[in-house]
Structure 1
Amino acid sequence: MSYPDDRQYTADHEWIAVDGDTARVGITAYAAEALGDVVYLDLPEVGSTLTAGETCGEIESTKSVSDLIAPADGEVTSVNQEAVDAPETVNADPYEQGWLYTLRVTELPENLLDAAGYGALVEGQGA
């Protein structure tokens, strides 16, 4: 599996694509595949302040419920209502149409991975 190299990744299998002080956030294809069919998204509210590493929502699939973990500090500026209305979009296109929310970034953590680093992490987990 390959991962887009225009974004950074977390060990929690989320991606963040930063453009200036704004970022789009989603889950990786690896996470989407591991979860199975996504049936419900509980995303952070617009205007809420997130702290990197803390829970900010949930993603529910036919297999389980998993926490969404904020990849950076910042304020939520929008949520992907299309994905909320059609959660299967997250499985079908996790890197484009299946994004989850946008964030006005105030601080990026130093432990984000590039595509190669995330690929190595996933391989180490037996993917």
Structure 2
Amino acid sequence: MQAVAKLSKCPSSPRKMRLVVDQIRGKGVDEALNMLKYIRRETSGKIEKLVLSAISNWEQKNDLRPEDYDLFIKEAFVDGGTMLKRLRPAPHGRAHRIRKRSNHVTIVVDSKVPVDMGNKTEAVEAEDQIEETEE
């Protein structure tokens, strides 16, 4: 089962965001988070939060712990958003147009290990029994 996280109307250019997203596409979630921590770009912090959100969405959707299922980034893409158009004064009474770009980022997380939805309740009950025996 896959989970999706989206970031809309992020105020940076799609070209700058794609530089970061292209580096984590197809990687494991842990590896991607480690990479994002050390990428020296402003957008890497936003992508890191988005990956954490996608992991949380997967966890809520499946009621399973993500550590056991080897999650990876299945899809990651950046679309252009709305553009704010501004004017900047130029010589001889003219004006140059400034385009302040925004973007939308979508990240899809999936597990390499197949998640058996039929036995999901049994797996949760087994985890509960293990926790009770440890206490």
- Which TM-score band (shorter chain)? 0.3 to 0.5
Task: Kindly indicate which of the two structures has a greater share of residues assigned to helix.
Answer: 2
The TM-score normalised by the length of structure 2 is 0.34
Larger Rg: 2
TM-score under structure 1 length normalisation: 0.36
